[in-house]
Amino acid sequence: MPALTTTSDGFLLHGRPLRIISGAMHYFRIHPDLWADRLHKARLMGLNTVETYVPWNLHQPDPDGPVVLGGILDLPRYLELARAEGLHVLLRPGPFICAEWDGGGLPSWLTADPDIRLRSSDPRFTGAIDRYLDLLLPPLLPHLAASGGPVIAVQVENEYGAYGDDTAYLTHLHQAFRSRGVQELLFTCDQAIPEHQANGSLPGTLATGTFGSRVEENLARLRAHRSEGPLMCTEFWVGWFDHWGEEHHTRSGADAAADLDRLLAAGASVNIYMFHGGTNFGFTNGANHDHAYAPVVTSYDYDAPLTEHGDPGPKYHAFREVIARHAPVPDEPVPAPSRKLPPVAVELDRRAPLLPYALAHAEPVHAPRAPLTQHELGQRAGYVLYRTTVPAAGDGVLHFTGGVGDRAQVFLDGAPAGVLERERHEEALPVRVPRSGAALEVLVENMGGVNYGPRIGAPKGLLGPVLLDGTPLEGWDCRPLPLDDLSALTLGPAPATGPAFHHGTFEIDEEADAFLALPGWTKGQAWINGFHLGRYWNRGPQRTLYVPAPVLRPGRNELLLLELHATTTGRAQLTDTPDLGPEKP
């Protein structure tokens, strides 16, 4: 029997009434040395539970390899820390998680197969899920409530009613958890829209809702769908995420707190999405694609109660006051802001051009006719450098049939010729070929996999033949650049034009949180001491990258930037203040 059970209007945990007051915080968006700090701050706000997704694509990067459970992916350790803090856990293993996460959490090796019907009872899809759960669940079972652990409930899929209506698929997932030893309460989660609730729920399984406002109306819709049982908002949206080129989204703390008060006053349980958003480190951000492709920024601050860098914000104090009206709140002071690094200037005085590095160190895959997509090259994220030669000199128009995924920089004999972007639906570029046999190089950046809707798994790289004035260009060398190992990088003092790595060192006295500001730089990636902070872009809104204190070390530290275009300075700044951009009114 599960530890958490339901009554006609609520929950019982080991037979005693429990109102779930939870907050979302994803372990894979938080430096693991900071997990304990964030969990402690969750309890002090008055939460009795935390919620997390589980990203399949990171835990199983190789379909034939083991499940990765180390470092930032050490989910068993995270669950143990939650238990030690006295917090319950809602576990949301997907397999689809959305979460503004690359590909919605589905592995690229799976979505690369165009014949698989994703999120369906297609046996190729359910078979892959079964193999994954066979590896993932055994290390997690000791952390379920049945074994004395903190996990009191497990979600089946995620907002499936907005995607499909394959009840056989949901039933398969339900049975997959049960047959592998998950005894805990299972639940589904969908927007509080009648059609979504009908399509995404299962008989005998708790159905919960997602919404951020109109509390009474949405709770009434949930009650109309299920006449009895707990009312629960599994994603109570208190902020929002940002796309590149937008303004920074915020929501009034007073407004969100008032809706939280209404929700708790109605007797409902809640999971605040997000309590602590964290960061899309490395190449992990997702994207949306409605009318156009729109990638998500590096920060996942979400205007949450606990900021991206772990400080209590205005919503933290407002929510704590609201929760105290409805449930016990620890009689302990609100945590103080973390220590911030005093401002430091970093001179980046060593460089290495990217294109020669790629030609020397990235093994080419030859494609005699059309270039290969990133999926066909077996690469999840990062860049691909494509290279061929142009037979004749003169003016012409390059046509990238099928477009680019997601942003292409074009070079002729090493000189920049232009940029094409998927989000602008660009496929053609006028060029002047300097000579017969000129080298055509195309550097394509994967800006993040679509995480919601029917375009999940859309290919990256060059998406079809490339034509010059209607004539196909052939004989392509395709070089994957995942940039996960830069040990072969040779840096020197000489100037570098075009895409290039820039390196500098700086000294600090002790670890502290910091924010990397790059005024004068255009677009690229940043690493500190080998830790991949993520993407920067002067398009904004985000203007600084969060540097977690554990990434830094007393004494000498290294900063490495991959600048794709040009910089007006050779200097970067570590500051004590974040800047996520102008706010959306």
- Annotated active-site positions, please? 159, 235
What's the CA gap between 436 and 271, in Å, rounded?
Answer: 63
CA 559 to chain centre: 23
The residues facing 211 across adjacent strands are 236
**Which residue, among 423, 253, 388, 275, has the nearest Cα to 322 in the 3D structure?**
253
Q: Which residue has the tokens 């007393």?
A: 554
Q: Strands across the sheet with 476-481, in order?
A: 365-367, 476-481, 383-390, 438-445, 407-412, 415-421
Contact 505, 572 (CB under 8 A): no
- For strands 21-25 and 269-276, give the pairing: parallel
* Positive/negative CA dihedral, 10, 15, 21, 24: negative
Q: Which residue has the tokens 């055509």?
A: 440
The residues facing 180 across adjacent strands are none
**Which residue, among 253, 239, 243, 376, has the nearest Cα to 308 in the 3D structure?**
239
CA distances from 201 to 119, 156, 165, 183 (A): 14, 9, 9, 19
Contact 143, 151 (CB under 8 A): yes
Element (DSSP H or E) covering residue 355: helix 354-361
What's the CA gap between 534 and 388, in Å, rounded?
Answer: 30
* Positive/negative CA dihedral, 182, 185, 190, 193: positive
Grouping H, G, I as helix, E, B as strand and the rest as coil, residue 566 is: coil
Element (DSSP H or E) covering residue 133: helix 123-140
User: Tell me, what amino acid is at 215?
Assistant: V
**Which residue, among 241, 283, 281, 242, has the nearest Cα to 460 in the 3D structure?**
283
Q: Token pair of 232, please?
A: 């629960």
Where helices occur in 141-200 by DSSP H, the ranges are 167-179, 194-200
What's the CA gap between 501 and 499, in Å, rounded?
Answer: 7
> DSSP class of residue 180?
T
Q: Token pair of 417, please?
A: 């010729």
> DSSP class of residue 289?
E
What's the CA gap between 92 and 95, in Å, rounded?
Answer: 8
What's the CA gap between 551 and 533, in Å, rounded?
Answer: 9
